[in-house]
Amino acid sequence: MKNSNLNIVPATQLLRNSIDRFLAKDMKGWTDLCDKDVVAEFPFAPEGSQARFEGREALFEYLRNYPSFIDVKRLPTLKVYGTDDPNVAIAEWSASGVVIGNGNPYEMSYATFVTFRDGLITNYREYWNPQAFMKAMSGGSFATV
C-alpha cells in the first residue's frame, strides 16, 4: 500500500515558499499560491486602509504594485513555526529595503499566521506596525486609489 502522506508538503515549507515569492517581488506568483477564495487579513492596517480581502483576484489587485513602491532588499530575520494543526504555520520575520518614491528606509517586522488546504493558502493574517509603515511611506500608500 502506498503512503499518500509522502507527497504532502508541510505547512512550514509552504509558508517559506510564499515568503520566497514575496522577496522575489513576484506578486502574481505569490497570489497563485492562494486558494481562489482566500481571505487575507491585515488587522493593524492604517486607518482608512482596507484590512480584509476576499478572493485571490482582490488580493492580487491589492498587492500587484507593491514592488514598485517598496523595494524589499532582504529579510534580516525569518523564523517559521509549525503548530498542532498540520495545516497552519506561523512566521516571525522582518523586511529591509527602501521606499522607492521617497528614498526612506523600509524596516518592518511581521507576525504572519497562514492556513493551507490542498497546498494553497486559504487564510492569511499578518500583523505589522502601521506607524512604522506610515512613517516610511511619509503618509503615502501602495494601494491604488
For residue 46, what pLDDT is reported?
86
For residue 82, what pLDDT is reported?
97
Q: Return d(Cα 42, Cα 50) in angstroms, integer.
A: 8
DSSP string, 64-83: TTHHHHEEEEEEEEEEEEE-
**The three grid cell numbers given for residue 51, joined into one nine-digit string:** 484590512
For residue 138, what pLDDT is reported?
86
Helix residue spans in the chain (DSSP H): 11-23, 27-32, 56-63, 66-69, 130-137
DSSP state of 22: H
pTM equals: 0.87
Amino acid at 21: R
**The three grid cell numbers given for residue 19, joined into one nine-digit string:** 515568503
For residue 1, what pLDDT is reported?
43
pLDDT in tens, the chain (145 residues): 444 445 589 999 999 999 999 999 999 999 999 999 999 999 999 888 899 999 999 999 999 999 999 999 999 999 999 999 999 999 999 999 999 999 999 999 999 999 999 999 999 999 999 888 889 988 555 554 3
For residue 144, what pLDDT is reported?
41
